[in-house]
């Protein structure tokens, strides 16, 4: 079982886990170590895992978040620096309120500027004898909060898998990780059976024989689903090609569910029992079929059948 990173105990373990001191594994890019804990009155062994691939992915995501926040902070600082206040206390209060808004940046008021302004709100420099009022402008600077970012970085690429088997001789740390990864593959595979696209939630079977038959059909469907997905991904990697994901971004690891969606709307035109045309085919469809192999291309050929 994967331990939620939101638990305070898990956060502490992940922040203090030294990647360099973790043991290497036979699994490429993975390092780990374990500790015994008691959580919820139950003794457990927590296997702390570091994944190089996950670290690179999560670090990239963090960098994007920091960059996006920086752009927002720059706008905030510009507006605050150009805002006029009628007393110094309000100016400082506005600066302090903005300090609390950001996760990865620190904002600080470095100076206070004052200037005379016409009471009637007119533009330009006021005359010597003209009534004026003093307004305050706060000068603000910002910088990345290094301590917060470093703390976040310490947790990247790490996760915890828990087991109630405390004896590592009976079940090693690496075996715990392998079991977890195997469970992940199964969960990802069966996820499609619960998808509304497949209507698995709409099936009601009372007869035991029908239930067994349906489970067998679903198992076979899952096998075909998994093989097709793996075949397509391997072909994409070998050809150094990509397909657009749901957001239109190129990927070498599309889900077969996404491919099914892409092929929605393809219509086969028959004349009698003979296929005479396949309608609505686009370059992306031909690309997928080409990657999967000649057998798939042949099935979408007008002469097939």
Residue 69 pLDDT: 93
Q: Please report the pLDDT score of residue 68 as a whole number.
A: 95
What is the rounded CA–CA span in Å between residue 237 and residue 249? 16
| Whole-number Cα distances in Å, 11 to 14, 38, 42, 51 | 5, 15, 19, 17
For residue 101, give the DSSP letter: T
Helix axes 173-190, 208-239, angle to 10 degrees: 110
pLDDT in tens, 88-122: 888 888 888 877 788 999 888 776 777 766 655 55
Q: What is the pLDDT of residue 273?
A: 81
Ranges under pLDDT 70 in the chain: 111, 116-132, 183-205, 302-305
Torsion of the alpha carbons at 176, 180, 183 and 188, rounded to the nearest 10: -170
H or E element at residue 110: strand 105-118
> Could you give the C-alpha distances from 141 to 65, 78, 87, 149, in angstroms and in order?
20, 10, 20, 18
Q: What is the pLDDT of residue 159?
A: 93
Q: What is residue 204's predicted lDDT score, i.e. its pLDDT?
A: 64
With H, G, I as helix, E, B as strand and everything else as coil, classify residue 195.
Answer: coil
pTM of the model: 0.55
CB 54 within 8 A of CB 157: yes
Two tokens, residue 252: 């070498």
| Domain spans of the chain, in order of start | 71-148, 195-262, 264-305
């Amino acid at each position: 079982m994967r331990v939620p990173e939101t638990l305070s105990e898990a956060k502490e373990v992940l922040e203090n886990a030294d990647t360099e001191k973790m043991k290497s594994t036979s699994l490429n890019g993975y390092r780990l170590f374990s500790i015994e804990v008691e959580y919820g009155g139950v003794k457990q062994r927590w296997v702390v895992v570091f994944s190089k691939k996950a670290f690179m992915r999560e670090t990239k995501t963090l960098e994007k978040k920091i960059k996006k926040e920086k752009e927002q902070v720059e706008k905030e600082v510009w507006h605050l620096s150009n805002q006029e206040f009628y007393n110094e206390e309000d100016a400082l209060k506005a600066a302090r309120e903005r300090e609390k808004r950001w996760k990865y940046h620190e904002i600080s008021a470095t100076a206070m500027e004052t200037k005379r302004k016409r009471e009637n709100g007119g533009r330009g420099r006021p005359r010597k004898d003209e009534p004026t009022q003093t307004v305050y402008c706060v000068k603000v600077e910002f910088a990345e909060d290094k301590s917060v970012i470093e703390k976040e970085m310490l947790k990247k690429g790490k996760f915890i898998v828990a087991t109630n088997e405390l004896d590592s001789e009976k079940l090693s740390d690496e075996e715990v990780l392998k079991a977890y990864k195997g469970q992940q593959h199964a969960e990802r595979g069966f996820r499609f059976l619960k998808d509304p696209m497949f209507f698995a939630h709409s099936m009601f079977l009372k007869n035991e024989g029908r239930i067994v038959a349906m489970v067998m059909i679903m198992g076979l469907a899952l096998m075909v689903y998994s093989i097709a997905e793996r075949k397509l991904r391997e072909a994409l990697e070998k050809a150094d090609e990509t397909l657009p994901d749901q957001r239109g971004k190129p990927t070498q690891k599309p889900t077969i569910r996404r491919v099914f969606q892409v092929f929605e709307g393809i219509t086969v035109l028959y004349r009698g029992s003979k296929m005479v045309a396949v309608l609505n085919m686009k370059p992306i469809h031909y690309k997928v079929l080409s990657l999967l192999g000649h057998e798939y291309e042949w099935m979408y050929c007008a002469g097939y059948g």
